[in-house]
A and B are shown apart, each in its own frame.
Chain A
Amino acid sequence: MKLNIAIAAFGIAGLVGAAHAQDPNLARNLAATCANCHGTNGKSLGGMESLAGEPKEKLLQKLADYRSGDKPATIMHQIVVGYTDEQLDLITTWFAAQK
Chain B
Amino acid sequence: MLNRRDFLKSAAVAAAGTGALPGFIGHAMATTTKARHHVVIVGGGYGGATAAKYLRMWGNGAVDVTLIERNTTFVSCPISNLVIGGVKRIEDITISYDNLKSKWGVKLITDEATAIDVDKKTVTTAKHGTIAWDRLVLSPGIDLLPGRIGGLEGKEDRIPHAWKAGPQTVLLRKQLEAMPDGGVFAMHIPRAPYRCPPGPYERACLVANYLREAKPKSKVLVLDANGEIQSKKALFTQAFERYGALLEYVPNSALQSVDADTLTAELEFDSIKADVLNVIPPMRAGNIAATTGLPLINDAWVDVDWLTLEAKGMPGVHVLGDALFPAPAMPKSGHMANQHAKVAAAAILNLFEGLPPNPTPVVMNTCYSFVDARNVIHVASVHQFDSAKKQPMPVAGAGGVSAMANDLEGKAALAWARNIWADMLA
A residues within 8 Å of B by Cβ?
1-5, 7-12, 15-16, 18, 20-26, 28-30, 32-33, 35-40, 44-48, 74-75, 78-79, 81-83, 87
Contact = CB atoms under 8 A, between A and B. Distances in A.
Interface string B224-251: 0000001101000000000000000000
Which of B230, B362, B414: most chain A CB closer than 10 A? B362
A33 B360 contact: no
A36 to B, nearest CB: 5
A8 B339 contact: no
A8 B397 CA distance: 8
A8 B394 contact: yes
A36 B329 contact: no
Contacts of B231: 1-2
B400 A3 contact: yes
Given A29-B361, A33-B362, A78 B398 contact: yes
Closest 9 CB pairs of A and B: A47-B415, A82-B382, A82-B398, A20-B359, A23-B358, A8-B396, A18-B387, A15-B384, A82-B395
B396 A10 contact: yes
Interface stretch (B22-30, B84-92, B402-410): B402-410
Given A1-B197, A23-B358, A32-B342, A74 B398 contact: no
Nearest to A9: B396
Interface stretch (B167-175, B257-265, B373-381): B373-381
Contacts, number: 169
B360 A3 contact: no
- Majority secondary structure, A binding face: loop
A29 B346 contact: yes
A15 B422 CA distance: 32
A57 B397 CA distance: 25
Nearest to B399: A78
B416 A1 contact: no
Contacts of A24: 355
B300 interface: no
A40 B422 contact: yes
A36 B414 contact: no
A56 B197 CA distance: 36
B415 A82 contact: no
A11 B382 CA distance: 13
A23 to B, nearest CB: 4
Nearest to A72: B408
B364 to A, nearest CB: 5
A90 to B, nearest CB: 11
A87 B360 CA distance: 11
B328 interface: yes
A42 B331 CA distance: 24
A9 B335 CA distance: 24
Contact of B399 (A11, A15, A32, A82): A82
Contacts of B343: 29
B399 A79 contact: yes
Contacts of B400: 3, 78
Contacts of B58: 25, 28
A44 B340 CA distance: 21
Contacts of B409: 74-75
Contacts of A9: 396
A46 B414 CA distance: 10
A25 B342 CA distance: 12
Given A29-B358, A78-B400, A4 B328 contact: yes
A36 B386 CA distance: 23
B399 A74 contact: no
Quick one: which of B329, B367, B378, B395 has the most chain A CB within 10 A? B395
A26 to B, nearest CB: 6
Contacts of A16: 360, 384
Contact of A7 (B328, B364, B387): B328
A75 B378 contact: yes
B419 interface: yes
A10 B422 CA distance: 35
B394 A7 contact: yes
B395 A8 contact: yes
B397 A81 contact: yes
B347 to A, nearest CB: 10
B419 A45 contact: yes
A50 to B, nearest CB: 10
Nearest to A47: B415
B329 A26 contact: no
Contacts of B385: 15
B360 A1 contact: no
Contact of A1 (B342, B367, B396, B408): B367
